[in-house]
Chains A and B, each alone.
Chain A
Amino acid sequence: GENVEQHPSTLSVQEGDSAVIKCTYSDSASNYFPWYKQELGKRPQLIIDIRSNVGEKKDQRIAVTLNKTAKHFSLHITETQPEDSAVYFCALRSGAGSYQLTFGKGTKLSVIP
């Protein structure tokens, strides 16, 4: 099946700085790319997503970029705050007929006050 490589596995930033998490994939048929945030002990929650016909999407301090040619997509968090500390998972769907999402292994983001 499709594989998603997520980097880095851990990331520490000072409050107010930006954080970037990158995921790479191999299947060019992948057409949907969501990002989930999981706080300690809680469920993963969708924070932003992008479809393959769009290159960038932004929602306040969070943005996702997609480079279909290079087969990678990234989560950008600007002006980080302590409440951004969590584990972030990228995911993708391999084609319109797929029922599954393939998840990355997660990035633990720590925002230092």
Chain B
Amino acid sequence: SQTIHQWPATLVQPVGSPLSLECTVEGTSNPNLYWYRQAAGRGLQLLFYSIGIDQISSEVPQNLSASRPQDRQFILSSKKLLLSDSGFYLCAWSVRSGGAGTQYFGPGTRLTVL
């Protein structure tokens, strides 16, 4: 069966510091991968999605970037965090082709920027 991991689970960072969040998927090949952010009490904001290595689409212009160094690894980064970057960051995966489009979420990383 498929499993999705995220780390760290929680993170407290000062404004202006860098960020690196990691997501890995097990038990499937060639997944579509997604990064979402959820502000407290709010909905899901799609940040990036990737349909393959070196194929990453950005949905919202901001100080975040994403990379996919391996097929089942997705990384979210920032060079300088802002207070507004605080939130719950969720990675998700879906079947590349032939599937309905169901997305399965990782456990999330709760980021607090102080």
Contacts and interface: CB of A to CB of B under 8 A. Distances in A.
Interface of A: 32, 34, 36, 41-46, 49, 51, 89, 93, 98-101, 103-106
Contacts, number: 46
Contacts of B49: 99-100
User: Which residue among A103, A104, A105 has the maximum number of chain B CB atoms within 10 Å of its CB?
Assistant: A103
Given A43-B108, A44-B90, A89 B43 contact: yes
The 10 closest A-B pairs by CB, nearest first: A93-B101, A43-B105, A105-B43, A32-B100, A103-B44, A32-B101, A44-B105, A106-B43, A43-B108, A99-B32
A43 B105 CA distance: 6
B106 interface: yes
B46 interface: yes
A59 B32 CA distance: 27
B103 interface: yes
Contacts of B34: 100
Contacts of A98: 101
B90 A43 contact: yes
